[in-house]
Amino acid sequence: MNAPILAPSLLAGDHGALADGAAIVSRLGLAWLHLDIMDGHFVPNLSFGPETLAALRRHGSTLFFDTHLMLSEPHLFIDPFARAGANRITIHIEPALDHATVLKSIRAHGCEAGIALNPGTPAKAVEPFLDQVDLVLVMTVQPGFGGQAFREDTLPKIAQVNRWRSERGLDLRIEVDGGIEHSTAVRCRANGADTFVVGTHFFAARDRAALAASFAAL
């Protein structure tokens, strides 16, 4: 079982002070920052773009940028996000595109590659790509907005991806994103998740160090 990683989502931070949000994460000794990129088309919301990542780098952030592209046309943005400082780029399985080629292009840009699936998408949709990714992101809410309630019905999907991982000896992380707090993370962990995106509950926490410690102990 991979060690747990807490990846705070900057979407829930102060958008007028994003570099400060990234600094809060690194001061806690955490290594990852989750960046939610939305296009107003694949999801009904907008967030930020490559220039935001580049600015965070200019402001000195050395965090691992875990970049989640909620885009209908992610292939148009691999190069800009890689140049801007993304370390991992995750694309969704739902848009009709040549996923294998896009995943290859992510790796050719020197980034790790991830594939994400929405709550309504069956696990078997990502099965053909498991040997081409470093991470499977099982969305535990319908993407687009922070602060939504965790969906219990996604747990069997986490378990299924975990079974494939062990049966096939795959080296990949299983990430969950949406409505994650300690209690929901425990249930995801029991089903095989090892990477936990936390937006609202991270930035709203009164004691973020205690929260980070509780995730490290999952």
Spot the catalytic one: 36, 39, 66, 194: 36
Q: Quick one: tokens of 93?
A: 């399985």
Catalytic status, residue 79: no
Q: Are the CB atoms for 218 and 186 separated by under 8 Å?
A: yes
Among 36, 39, 66, 175, binds Zn ion (CB under 5 A): 36
Catalytic status, residue 177: yes
Please classify residue 207 by burial: count the beta carbons closer than 10 Å to its beta carbon, then call 0-12 exposed, 13-18 middle and 19+ buried: exposed
Q: Quick one: tokens of 68?
A: 């989640």
In eight-state DSSP terms, residue 10 is G
Among 68, 88, 99, 189, binds Zn ion (CB under 5 A): 68
Dihedral, CA atoms, 73, 85, 101, 126, nearest 10 degrees?
Answer: -80
Residues 142-171 touching ligand DX5, rule: CB under 6 A, are 143-148
Residue 173 touching Zn ion (CB under 5 A): no
Nearest approach, Cβ of 40 to ligand DX5 (angstroms)? 13
* Site residues, ligand DX5 (CB under 6 A): 9, 11-12, 34, 36, 68, 141, 143-148, 177-180, 197-201
* Site residues, Zn ion (CB under 5 A): 36, 68, 177
